[in-house]
Homo-oligomer: A and B are copies of this chain.
């Protein structure tokens, strides 16, 4: 019997992986702002990058790398819209580091923060030259990559194959706001000692990403820097691909929900369970229309069971749908069923109670076909405006 078990250690859980986070003085209050992840043997690297056409310098640099054993990460500055100089800054920083630590092979860099400002290269180099590559402080690394995050995000699993051999997968991530169906301003670093090829890993990553990070939305914008990296060093000498996918999905689903729960100004995590669409693609369109609708999000914040906005958003999404086949429930409270409005004082009270929870589901059955999709969204309150009205200062 194979098994899956939650463990501590995050990106340092798998054999041969090390990490730390330090302060380079990029954040004003001396908080950690630069981190590394290191493997003592070379890793296969799979990655998913932002779909934003203005992708940042670190992404242009990372696209060319398929094997590596080191990732340098900084917060507070995205190194985006910085032209050729932005890429040269990365080379300068990483060359200096490799000069000090000759074991580094094809080091990667990843950045998040303000767009359009050159990296404070000297500060980053000074901090990075002091890295202890034998350090295993995944918590410090997870804190260093935070921007508007209210809490750090990490997780790890040990996966035991039928034959008794086991491998580990661990991750840290950042993201709060700008998390959109197209995977925005989020960074996720996954390490594993599974023995898996880059190609197998890439296929599984893309498949799982579609159901997890790409199903999570805070505000519908996409960023210049979004990245998911998996580094696999093979040190466990084993893998079970089905189990690997199961473990990766558990990790990425957990982190996707954590990002939505930490959405800028969010007070609720809402799961949109869409069924009965013409096909899965149309179900996805509906799920993301709902999770991105400002009118739906403000109604969630107000705990107002205004199912009319749900119906209007479905209608606005352009998919095949009609009044007479549509059904809407909030958890187990039915509000509208196949064209019949069930809303009365009793239903309103019950639906309001559902909405007072920190987390609940909205079920929409379009009654047209067999398409389904699940998406994660949050509400939008005053704090979203406060956080974003003057982000740079």
Contact = CB atoms under 8 A, between A and B. Distances in A.
A323 B54 contact: yes
Interface in A324-352: 324, 326, 336, 339-341, 343
A129 interface: no
Contacts of A182: 316
A309 interface: yes
B389 A301 contact: yes
Contacts of A316: 51-53, 182, 184, 221-223
A355 to B, nearest CB: 11
A302 B390 contact: yes
A308, A311, A339: residue with the most chain B Cβ atoms closer than 10 Å: A308
Contact of A341 (B116, B309, B390): B116
Contact of A380 (B53, B117, B222, B385): B385
A381 interface: yes
A201 to B, nearest CB: 27
Nearest to A308: B115
A321 B318 CA distance: 27
A294 interface: yes
B318 A53 contact: yes
Given A81-B323, A389-B301, A116 B315 contact: no
A298 interface: yes
Nearest to A55: B315
B312 A223 contact: yes
A289 to B, nearest CB: 9
Contact of A224 (B298, B312, B380, B388): B312
A393 interface: yes
B385 A114 contact: no
Nearest to A315: B54
Task: Label chain A's interface by main secondary structure.
Answer: loop
A147 to B, nearest CB: 13
A117, A220, A298, A315: residue with the most chain B Cβ atoms closer than 10 Å: A315
A313 interface: yes
A115 B343 CA distance: 12
A81 B322 CA distance: 10
B309 A115 contact: yes
A306 interface: yes
Contacts of A314: 53-54
A392 B114 CA distance: 39
B220 A294 contact: yes
Given A53-B322, A311-B116, A298 B385 contact: yes
A83 B323 contact: yes
B389 A224 contact: no
A28 B165 CA distance: 71
B80 A298 contact: no
Contact of A312 (B115, B295, B304, B312): B115
Given A53-B322, A221-B294, A318-B53, A389 B304 contact: yes
Contacts of A49: none
Given A295-B221, A312-B80, A382-B382, A318 B51 contact: yes
A117 B311 CA distance: 13
